[in-house]
């Protein structure tokens, strides 16, 4: 028994073997083997997910939830498998709490519009943080404009840690929603969302967590967190684009009006009046991205086999290695130095514009993102135009980090 367990653990964390399952990582770009460090923007898919999508298109495709013919039922089962697996993956209590969306952005817009239109009034406050992605700012600004609600911002310090005493000060009976990022895509900060949720609940305020950069990198348990809403995207966790999840507590989702109207989300339609389908379908109007959902079910199985705790440990090891190596480079400044960080390193090179850093790194086939990373307010608060950002996945290697370090030194010599 002991032996078997050992074997399983070893197999699960054979990182070379895991890496070899990602076909794109074998490619050469600009004459060098690809070093892909832009996982925060989008991660790569393993062969088995690509194969599953291909197989679905070749053998199983039909529309879902509407046909009694065999193929439609098969497609529906394959598509619904992602919901079943996702419920377990994030430990939601009920399957119908897993709403399919097109991604984090869509999930947040859904809550802002559906929950917000029903519950927000003139003078109500929506509390977000200083390190939000635009996807967790703009939808709240839009609903604030529509309802007369006001946006309030939890500030952060120079390390990129939220000022929790300020959060407690801002929280009041006027607060009608708290929406906070779990892991910052720019700074890497892992926010104490459990504490934030607990404090908000003391005021009966629901909390939406933007988990786009958390779910791919650590075990997330929505019940343990007691999150009311939790949003994320498949394509940042080795799944396909165009697909995402909104987790919501059943009671809240049941009371919310639909976000978009059309087929599938209805119970009965007449010209006089339409009634709604039950959740999750009430929020899933029209033909969904079926093949992406089918592929995502395979992704979840893949991640489960490795284990999210193993993934988190591997990424922490790579983060530590990269932070040490990058810190040794003269003239390099890391932006985002919170105590609790995920595997994201934003950096500046003295006197060299981040865009130039990214362009020269690309010549060496090192893919990083440069710019404001859809977090312009973070850039404003640090008084910088942007950063270069290496965002690391479990399938990266120490060799990738060494190549990044060499690449950065090359950039410095170039200028
Ligand atoms: N929230 C966070 C924290 C994100 O990092 C992103 C995407 C989103 C929301 C939006 O996700 P989407 O799938 O709906 O687009 N972040 C990034 C990034 O860091 N670089 O490119 C996209």
Give the integer Cα–Cα distance in Å for 244 and 266.
21
Torsion angle, CA of 318/320/323/325, rounded to 10 degrees? Answer: -80
Is it the case that residue 11 has pLDDT exceeding 70? no
- Look up the domain containing 351 and give its range: 15-47+307-414
Q: Which residues pair with residue 366 across a beta bridge?
A: 35
Position 4 scores a pLDDT of 39
For range 151-180, the mean pLDDT: 98
**Which atom of ligand 1 is nearest to 107's Cα?**
14
Q: Are residues 391 and 410 in the same domain?
A: yes
Residue 370 CA to ligand 1 centre (angstroms): 14
Over residues 125-141, the mean pLDDT reads 98
Q: Is there a domain that residue 208 lies in?
A: yes
Do 58 and 121 fall within a single domain?
A: yes
The pLDDT tens digits of the residues spanning 273-299 come to: 999 999 999 999 999 999 999 999 999
Rounded CA separation 100/247 (Å): 9
Confidence band of 29 (pLDDT split at 50, 70, 90): confident
CA distances to 92, 117, 167 from 154, in Å: 28, 23, 5
Which residue numbers are catalytic? 374
Tell me, in angstroms, the distance from the centre of ligand 1 to residue 25's CA.
22
- Tokens coding 157: 């310090």
367-383 mean pLDDT: 97
Please state the domain count of the chain.
2
Element (H, E) at 406: helix 398-414
**H or E, element range at 176:** strand 175-181
Whole-prediction pTM value?
0.96
Q: With a cut of 50, say whether residue 77 has pLDDT above it.
A: yes
Give the mean pLDDT of the chain.
96
Last residue of a domain, one of 273, 305, 337: 305
Alpha helices of 148-275 — where are they, by DSSP H? 164-170, 193-202, 222-225, 250-255
Q: Is residue 302 scored above 50 in pLDDT?
A: yes
Ligand 1 pocket mutation pick from 140, 191, 233 by most atoms within 8 angstroms of CB: 233
Find where tokens 């404090």 sit: 199
End-to-end CA distance of the chain: 59
Instruction: Evaluate whether residue 338 is within a structural domain.
Output: yes
pLDDT of residue 9: 52
User: Which residue's C-alpha comes closest to atom 20 of ligand 1?
Assistant: 41
Q: Check if the beta carbon of residue 349 is closer than 8 Å to that of residue 357.
A: yes
Report the share of the chain in percent with pLDDT over 70.
Answer: 97
Q: How far is the CA of 46 from the centre of ligand 1 (A)?
A: 20
Clarify whether residues 300 and 313 are in a common domain. no
Please give the Cα distance from 184 to 377 (Å, whole number): 13
Name residue, tokens 């684009």. Answer: 241
Give the span between the Cα atoms of 281 and 298, in whole angstroms.
Answer: 22
Q: DSSP per residue over 325-342, as a string? A: HHHTSTTEEEE---SSB-
Find, among 39, 1, 40, the residue nearest to 19 by Cα: 39
Residue 237: per-residue pLDDT = 98
Tokens 């892991």 belong to 183
Q: What share of the chain is helix, strand, coil (3-state, %, to 5)?
A: 45, 20, 35
Which pLDDT belongs to residue 6?
Answer: 42
Residue 275 lies in a domain: yes
Q: Considering just the CA atoms, what is the radius of gyration of the chain in Å? A: 22
* Ligand 1 pocket by Cβ (under 6 Å): 40-41, 103-105, 133, 135-136, 181, 185, 210, 212-213, 233, 369, 373-374
Q: Confidence class of residue 3 from pLDDT cuts 50, 70 and 90?
A: very low
Residue 2 has pLDDT above 70, yes or no: no
| CATH code for the domain of 223 | 3.40.640.10
Question: Do residues 287 and 329 both lie within one domain?
Answer: no
Is the per-residue pLDDT at 8 higher than 50? no
In a domain, residue 7? The reply is no
- For position 259, what pLDDT does the model report? 95
Q: What is the pLDDT of residues 321-363, one digit of tens each?
A: 999 999 999 999 999 999 999 999 999 999 999 999 999 999 9
Q: Does residue 31 sit in the same domain as residue 60?
A: no
Q: Are residues 212 and 66 located together in one domain of the fold?
A: yes
Atom nearest to 102 CA in ligand 1: 14
Tokens standing for residue 229:
């809403």
How confident is the model over 28-45, as a mean pLDDT?
94
Distance from C-alpha of 290 to C-alpha of 292, rounded to nearest angstrom: 5
- The predicted model gives 113-122 an average pLDDT of 98
Residues 6+ apart with CB under 8 A from 346: 186, 187, 188, 334, 335, 336, 373, 387, 388, 389
Neighbours of 184 (CB within 10 A): 31
pLDDT of residue 240: 98
What is the 129 CA–ligand 1 centroid distance (Å)? 15
pLDDT for the residue numbered 30: 80
pLDDT at residue 10 in the model: 57
């Amino acid at each position: 028994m002991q032996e078997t367990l050992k074997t399983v653990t070893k197999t699960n964390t054979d990182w070379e073997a895991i890496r070899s399952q990602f076909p794109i990582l074998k490619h050469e770009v600009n004459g060098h083997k690809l070093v892909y460090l832009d996982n925060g923007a989008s991660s790569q898919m393993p062969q088995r997910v690509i194969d599953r999508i291909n197989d679905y298109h070749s053998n199983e495709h039909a529309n879902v939830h509407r046909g009694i013919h065999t193929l439609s039922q098969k497609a529906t089962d394959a598509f619904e498998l992602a919901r079943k697996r996702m419920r377990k993956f994030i430990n939601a209590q009920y399957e119908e709490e897993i709403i399919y969306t097109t991604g984090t952005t869509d999930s947040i817009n859904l809550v802002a519009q559906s929950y917000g239109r029903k519950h927000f009034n003139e003078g109500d406050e929506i509390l977000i943080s200083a390190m939000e992605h635009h996807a967790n700012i703009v939808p709240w600004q839009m609903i604030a404009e529509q309802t007369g609600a006001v946006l309030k911002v939890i500030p952060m310090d120079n390390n990129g840690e939220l000022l929790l005493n300020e959060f407690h000060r801002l929280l009041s009976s006027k607060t009608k929603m708290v929406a906070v990022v779990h892991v910052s895509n720019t700074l890497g900060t892992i926010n104490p969302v459990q504490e934030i949720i607990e404090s908000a609940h003391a005021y009966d305020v629901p909390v939406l967590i933007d988990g786009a950069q958390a779910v791919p990198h650590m075990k997330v348990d929505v019940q343990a967190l007691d999150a009311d809403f939790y949003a994320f995207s498949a394509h940042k966790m080795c799944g396909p684009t165009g697909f995402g999840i909104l987790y919501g507590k059943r009671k809240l989702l049941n009371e919310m009006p639909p976000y978009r109207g059309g087929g599938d989300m209805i119970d009965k339609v007449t010209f006089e009046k339409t009634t709604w389908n039950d959740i999750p379908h009430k929020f899933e109007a029209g033909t969904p991205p079926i093949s992406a959902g089918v592929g995502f079910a395979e992704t979840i199985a893949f991640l489960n086999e490795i284990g999210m705790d193993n993934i988190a440990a591997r990424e922490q090891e790579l983060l530590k290695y990269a932070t040490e190596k990058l810190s040794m480079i003269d003239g390099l400044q890391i932006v985002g130095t919170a105590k609790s960080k995920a595997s994201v390193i934003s950096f500046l090179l003295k006197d060299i514009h981040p865009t130039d850093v990214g362009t020269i790194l690309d010549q060496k086939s090192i893919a990083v993102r440069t710019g404001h990373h859809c977090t312009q307010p973070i850039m404003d608060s640090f008084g910088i135009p942007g950063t270069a950002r290496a965002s690391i996945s479990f399938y990266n290697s120490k060799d990738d980090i060494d190549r990044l370090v060499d690449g950065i030194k090359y950039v410095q010599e170039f200028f």
